[in-house]
Structure 1
Amino acid sequence: MTAAMKRQTLQNMAEVLAHKVSYNQRLFSANQDEIVQGLTTDIYFIRTRELLRHMGLDRTPVTAEVFAGRPGILAGVEEVKNLLTGLPVEVWAMPEGSEIEEKEVIMRITGAYDDFGIYETALLGMLASSSGWATAARRCREAAGDYPMISFGARHVHPAVAPVMERAAIIGGADGASCILGAKLAGQEPRGTVPHAVMLIVGDTVEVARVYQQTMPPEAPVIILVDTFKDEVEESLRLTEALGDKLQGIRLDTASERGGVTPGLVREVKARLRQAGYPQVKIFVSGGITPERITILITAGADAFGVGSYISGAAAIDMTMDIKEINGQPVAKRGRIPGLTDAPRLQRII
């Protein structure tokens, strides 16, 4: 019995047709068991399995290579490793966080095709999405330089993939993430303060700030939103009067209906805080942040950034998997060069 069979993966078209799902009382995302079982694979890989078994070719040893469709930052390798660990395959890959080039081979898998072919859809998707998010985060990192930059993108994607996205953002260069599971999967604790909702319910920004400072853990930074009720400058100065040196930062997230956070607003708040004797209070900016806006807002005086849709909405980096050897002999589809590609940066991971 093969490792793929021991995993209880889908074996044939009959099992696909027999599989039933409930539309009620379940989230529509695949859970880990369903991914491992092969339920997220493209149907043609199940047809391939059945055909090869019928012809006695399912145990054919092959080497497959995965290459990227455009340059970027590689992420998703650890998830692919977790998916394939336990199968009788050998896997080489470039490290996560590596800069990759168009058409560069980023992964190589050797084994009987039947043992890993069913996972082509899943592993390509893991690499493609995570690399796209990591690449967008790297662009923000490059724009921010040494200024803190946190990923706030979880609300823009399906919750099933939000942790994947936030982890990829950290690999790409984000200093942290607001999504609890995403941050923890990256070996960090989640970062963030409070939303407008608590301000609206309580009715006063200063009152929220006082209670926040009193009740949150000592290591939680006191960074307070200032655009809910009053002019951002007025609210910032009210906070300095109430909290004094305990106020570490203010957050600007001005609604697009009021023009969003402009360089002029940042400059004014910065100057007024300095004039009031609080130059140490940092200005954290969120809402529609892009690399271009980061550069402009740093010049205006911003100190840190929360980036949402620019990272979460990034296009995936298309990944392609090609068989390049069968029984140790070079092969390739038309248009590709047969045999293994020179890929000196690959490292053995399984």
Structure 2
Amino acid sequence: MEINLKEKGIIKRLTNKTFCFDERLKNGFFTATYFLKVQKIIKQNLANQSVTMQWFCRKDGVMVCGVDETVALLHTFAINPQSLEIFALNDGDIVSAYEPVLKVRGAYENFGFLENVIDAVLARRSSVATNAHNAVLAANGKELFCMADRQDEILTQIADGYACYVAGIKKVATDALGAWWGGRGSGTMPHALIQMCGGDVVKACEIYKKTFKDEKITALVDYNNDVITDALRVARAFGSDLAAVRVDTSANLIDKFFNDKDTSGFDPKGVCPELIFALRKALDDSGFSWVKIVVSSGFTPQKIALFEAKNCPVDTYGVGSFLVKNDTCGFTGDLVELNGKDEAKFGRKNVRSDRLELVSFV
């Protein structure tokens, strides 16, 4: 089921968004059983009382995401959604611990059964957005490529790609990662293409160019664990048709460039800054200064920051598994008002916030 916010009449949100929901949400398939039970209890015994529920996380510096999706979810699956008052932050806002990101006011039996679903949406989207945001900050304005297409269940790609987009990553590996914001998958070749050419990187690039005549090439140059040799071979063969080279050396390997060199002062394994400095120098010295360098394999904000601190000549960072770590933040929904008066479990309270905006409808 696709839900478009504009079609739902929701304004003050980005009106071109389309979200995909599983129709089984309407039957409680994804709702914790005790929420379904309490909905029935309330209907029969305590109906039509007004409550306010607020959602928050317990960490500082979280980039909230999934709020607009939650608004669409409420107006698709809540009962009498037009009777609800929804106050929300915007996707991309940075929040502090215990700061409410969403408040919903109305009859509990009309929306309370969606509590755990909303928790899950906010937790996943905000975790990915926060991870991506931290990677973007570490990259100091350099391009990031979202390669989080193989680290989790494939159905998470669509929303994960949107969360990365909210954080500022606009280059993605699959169409699914760009589905909610209009992005398209990009990339050139995997190791499989080189393998099927017997390890000949130049041949792999030749048949790539033959097949995709209008595209420039980004050559994957670590297949033979001889990055600089293969990068220069490709550059000499393709000249201006070579846009970039990508280094994806495994963390348990040491590139052949270091075979006769003293590596006692640094860790030469995997994609290390010293290898990238040497690659840049080799390309420049051979007259290929326009060829960009893309790096991937185990990049995190910490590893990116290390490269940036050394002014490593990287043009694009490919980031995968780190982006979709889902333990960055969790969200909790609490009832904090009953019939206009503060009422909450011990230790919780109705947190006032002048950042929340009333979601308006037409």
- Give the shorter-chain TM-score range: 0.7 to 0.9
3-state DSSP class of the match of 2:150? Answer: helix
> Which residue of 1 is the match for residue 331 of structure 2?
319
Q: Is residue 289 of structure 1 aligned with residue 299 of structure 2?
A: yes
Amino acid paired to 1:288: G
> Which residue of 1 is the match for residue 139 of structure 2?
144
Q: Is residue 330 of structure 1 aligned with residue 325 of structure 2?
A: no
> Which residue of 1 is the match for residue 13 of structure 2?
none
Change over 3 Å in CA distance of 1:230–1:101 after alignment to 2 = closer
User: Is contact 2:231-2:245 (8 Å) kept?
Assistant: yes
1:31 Cα deviation (Å)? 6.6
Q: Is residue 209 of structure 1 aligned with residue 205 of structure 2?
A: yes
User: Is contact 2:53-2:334 (8 Å) kept?
Assistant: yes
Residues 238-287 of structure 1: per-residue CA shift (max 9 Å, x gap):
11111101101000001223121111110111110001100111110000
> Which residue of 1 is the match for residue 41 of structure 2?
51
Moved more, 313-322 or 65-74: 313-322
> Which residue of 1 is the match for residue 285 of structure 2?
275
Residues 102-130 of structure 1: per-residue CA shift (max 9 Å, x gap):
00011011121111111111111100111
Residues 29-50 of structure 1: per-residue CA shift (max 9 Å, x gap):
x971123332111111011012
d(CA) in 2 for partners of 1:44, 1:105: 24
> Which residue of 2 is the match for residue 91 of structure 1?
86
1:154 Cα deviation (Å)? 2.1
d(CA) in 1 for partners of 2:346, 2:87: 25
Decide which of 244, 248, 260 is 2:270's aligned counterpart: 260
Identity %: 28
Decide which of 79, 103, 110 is 1:108's aligned counterpart: 103
User: Is contact 1:36-1:83 (8 Å) kept?
Assistant: no
Q: Which structure 2 residues correspond to residues 226-265 of structure 1 after superposition, within 5 A?
A: 226-229=221-224, 231-258=226-253, 259-265=269-275
Amino acid paired to 1:216: F
Structural RMSD (CA): 1.8
Structure 1 ranges of 4+ moved more than 6 A: none
3-state DSSP class of the match of 1:193? Answer: coil
d(CA) in 1 for partners of 2:136, 2:300: 10
> Which residue of 2 is the match for residue 175 of structure 1?
170
3-state DSSP class of the match of 1:341? Answer: coil
> Which residue of 1 is the match for residue 29 of structure 2?
39
3-state DSSP class of the match of 1:119? Answer: helix
Can you give the 5+ residue segments of structure 1 that lack an aligned partner in the other structure? Answer: 1-29
Can you give the 5+ residue segments of structure 2 that lack an aligned partner in the other structure? Answer: 1-19, 254-268
Change over 3 Å in CA distance of 1:293–1:331 after alignment to 2 = same
1:135 Cα deviation (Å)? 0.8
1:145 Cα deviation (Å)? 1.3
Change over 3 Å in CA distance of 1:264–1:314 after alignment to 2 = farther
d(CA) in 1 for partners of 2:27, 2:140: 43
Question: Paired residues, what number?
Answer: 317
TM-score by length of 1: 0.86
> Which residue of 2 is the match for residue 120 of structure 1?
115
Change over 3 Å in CA distance of 1:130–1:217 after alignment to 2 = farther
TM-score by length of 2: 0.83
Amino acid paired to 2:278: E
